Structure formats: structure tokens, C-alpha cells
Amino acid sequence: MRGPLRNIAAIASTAVLELYRRRDVYTAVVLAIVVTVPLASVNVFGVKGIVRYLREITLLLVWLFTLVIGLTTAARQIPRELENRTIYALLAKPLRRSEFILGKFAGAVAATGLAVLLFYLCYVVLDGLKEGVWYTPVLPQVVLLHLALVALMTALVIFGSTFLTPSANVTCSALIVAGMLLFGQKIPEAAARAVAPASWILWTAHAVLPHFEFFDLRLRLVHGWEPISPAVLLAVLGYCTLYTTALLGGAVAIFSRKRL
């Protein structure tokens, strides 16, 4: 591996190591299993083979846990280095600040991404056991876009942590992620109904904020809708790439000028 990539990989590997040494993920997985297994065995009016409620609740838990894990993992990366003052020992090494940022980003994405895959594995096993169906064509799309969401969310949080205090950063990022997931689709409608200053704000938000709801294909998986077309999938991935690059670029620009 060449210099910069090697550095990025070295930094990223510590984030993965940390997440898995801290055992948060196992706790979350066990909790999710503990919650969903009894749900799977509920007797609904003596009718057998009902699955969608289970898919929905399991996916909700998967999303909830991975969002929390992803957000906290990403938000920890840079402030921890500053708090513990390890950043000085680190940046005294022959390392560019851009490599530091990208390494932190890659590490948080890799750590959360592994957690996401682990959670979906549990989902597939649970749903497969209950339903007898182990694969649906939407599933790979759901997982892929979930990973893309993790990347975008991590970039947002890393960007925020270059200029916000840790708590402000987590709060803002969580608000943006949750807000867009819940209401992202509805903003234009609300903007069309609102009056002057509010509508401008809403239109700006619609144009500028990262549209996390693009990555949420749960509905298709739960209710058995068909997969999205490859063109749409590519468009969403392209959006993710551009937005993530922009955020990371911003983070590098700010962090490179930062006085430590």
C-alpha cells in the first residue's frame, strides 16, 4: 500500500478495533434479538405465517441501533483525540491532516458498516426462520443503500466535529438525520403551503440538506414492493458520493487550518 492509503488504513483500523473492543455492538445485537424473538412467536388470533409486522419492527430496531452506533462512533472520532491529546502524538507523525480526516471517516464507516452487516445477518436469519424465504431482490439494495447512508451520515458528523463542540455536533447531526428520514419527503409540500419567510427556509432546507430518506428502502422490503430501478439506484449512490465528498472536503479544509 502506498503512503496516504496506508496511513488512512492504519487510522481506520483503530476505529474498528475500538468499536469491537467496546462491545457496544454485541450489546445492541443481543438486545435486538431479545426483543424480536418473542415478537416473532406472538400468537395473532391463531393465524399462522404473518411476517410483515415482524419485518417492520426488526428493521426499525436495526435502523435505530445502527443510527445510534453510527452517530456516536463518528462523533467520537475527532473529539476523543483532542480530549486525550493523542492528536499531538499522532500528528507529529509523518501524516497529513487530510489523511487523518479520511482515516477517521473510513474507520467510522467501516466500523458502523460491519455492525450494519451483522444486524442484517440477524434480520435475514430471523425473517428466514419465520417465513422460510431467505432472499428477496430488494434486500441487497436495502443493505447497499443503508451502507451509503452510513457513509453520508459519518461524513456529516465528521464535518460537524471540525467546528462544533461534540454535544452540539451530535445534536445537530441527529436532528438532521432523523428529521430528513421522517419528513424529508414532505418538505416541498410543507414549503408550498407555508408563507414567505418560512417557505424560503423550507425550500432552502430541501435544496441543501442531505436527503437521508433516499436511502431508506425499508418499505419496499417490508411490504414486498419491487426493487428500485438500476438507474435510480445509481442516482442515489451518485448523490451520496458527491455529498460525502463535499462534506469531507469541507472537513479537510477546516481541519487543515485548525490551530491545535
Partner 1 sequence: MPEPTVAIEIDRLSKVYPGGNRALSDFSLAVDAGEIFGFLGPNGAGKTTTIKILLGFMPPTSGTVRVLGGDPRLPETRRRIGYLPEVANYYGYMTVDELLRYYGRLCGMSRDAIRKRTDELLELVGLADVRRRQLKHFSKGMLQRAGIAQALLHDPDLLILDEPMTGLDPPARLQMRDIILRQKQQGKTVFFSSHELSEAELICDRVGILKAGCTVWCGPTNEVTGDGAGNLERIFLNMIRQNESEQQK
Partner 2 sequence: MKTILAAATAWGLAIFAGIALARLPQLRLPPGSRSVAALLLGGARSVLSDDMYQRADLYYHGGVAHRHEPGGEHRQTETPTEAAGARGRRFSPLSEADTASAPHKTMGKAAAAQPRGYSIIREGRRTEAGDHEHGHEGEETAVPRWDLWSRLNRRIHPSGHRHLRGPRYEKEVLPWLWAAIRCNPHNVTAYDVAAYWVAERLKHPEEGLKILAEGIRNNPDAYRLEFTRGEILLHMLKDREAAFNAFHAAMRKWETTYARAPEKKKPDVFQYGNILLYLAVLSERKNALEDARRYYKAALDTREGNARKDIARRLAAVEEKLGAEAESASAPKPEKTGG
Whichever of 95 and 171 has its CB closer to partner 2, that residue is 171
Q: Which segments of 84-137 does DSSP mark as H helices, in order?
A: 86-91, 97-131
DSSP result, 173-218: HHHHHHHHHHHGGGHHHHHHHS-HHHHHHHHHHHHHS--GGGG--H
CB of 21 to partner 1, least distance (A): 4
Q: Which segments of 23-51 does DSSP mark as H helices, in order?
A: 24-40
Among the listed ranges 67-75, 82-90, 179-187, 222-230, the one in contact with partner 1 (CB under 8 A) is: 82-90
Q: Exposure of 206 by Cβ count < 10 A (0-12 exposed, 13-18 middle, 19+ buried)?
A: middle
Axis crossing angle, helix 52-83 with helix 166-183, rounded to the nearest 10: 160
Among the listed ranges 71-79, 92-100, 173-181, 201-209, the one in contact with partner 1 (CB under 8 A) is: 92-100
Can residue 68 be called a binding residue for partner 2 (CB under 8 A)?
yes
Residues numbered 210-249 forming contacts with partner 1, rule: CB under 8 A: none
Among 95, 114, 209, 228, binds partner 1 (CB under 8 A): 95
d(CA 1, CA 103): 14
Can residue 196 be called a binding residue for partner 2 (CB under 8 A)?
no
Residues numbered 10-49 forming contacts with partner 1, rule: CB under 8 A: 10-11, 13-14, 17-18, 21-22
Helix, strand, coil proportions of the chain in percent (round to 5)?
A: 80, 0, 20
Question: Is the distance from CB of 104 to CB of 96 less than 8 angstroms?
Answer: no
Among the listed ranges 25-33, 102-110, 159-167, 194-202, the one in contact with partner 2 (CB under 8 A) is: 25-33
Count H helices and E strands in the chain, helices first: 11, 0
Among the listed ranges 57-65, 86-94, 154-162, 239-247, the one in contact with partner 1 (CB under 8 A) is: 86-94
CB of 18 to partner 1, least distance (A): 5
Question: Total binding residues for partner 1 by CB under 8 A?
Answer: 26
Q: What is the binding site for partner 1 (CB under 8 A)?
A: 3, 6-7, 10-11, 13-14, 17-18, 21-22, 83-86, 88-96, 259-260
